[in-house]
Amino acid sequence: MPTSDPIADFLTRVRNAILARHQSVAVPTSNTVKAIAGILHEEGYVAELAEDVGEQAQSSLVLTLRYCADKSNAISGLRRVSRPGQRKYVQVTEIPKVKNGLGIAILSTSSGVMTGSKARKLNVGGELLCTVW
């Protein structure tokens, strides 16, 4: 079933899987969701990524969640900032530092989807998609 906001759907599925203590979660895939999941994998919030091409019309992306030894998750919070009804664009000087640098901001820029720190290095702003900590 198609959704009007695939990024919010992705974040909600990951959040629900964390709260239910699941080892992995399958999400419908899109180019933006793949890019966000790739960033989460690069930054160490997700242990593994795999694309599952099943018999369905749309493939799904399987994320293996990362847990610490004390059974706490690497992701303690996810928040969608820019929504379809209210977009949030930031300049390079306005890119937020999430939890004093302990989290990441994910932006959609003219150079692609990237973290806030990488956008600062490249001196580009864009749409602030979500924050993860």
Q: How far apart are CA 6 and CA 12, in angstroms?
A: 10
101 half-sphere exposure, CB direction, 13 A CA radius? 0
Residue 1 has pLDDT above 80, yes or no: no
Domain ranges in the chain are 6-65, 78-132
Average pLDDT over residues 96-119: 97
Positive or negative: CA dihedral 30, 32, 36, 41: positive
Alpha-carbon span 95 to 18, nearest angstrom: 27
Separation of alpha carbons 94 and 122, rounded Å: 14
Predicted confidence band of residue 32 (pLDDT cuts 50, 70, 90): very high
Q: What is the CATH number of domain 78-132?
A: 3.30.1490.10
Structural tokens at position 99: 């939890």
Q: Is residue 92 scored above 90 in pLDDT?
A: yes
pLDDT of amino acid 71: 84
CATH architecture of structural domain 6-65:
2-Layer Sandwich (3.30)
Predicted TM-score (pTM) of this structure: 0.93
- At 37-66, the pLDDT tens digits run 999 999 999 999 999 887 777 889 999 999
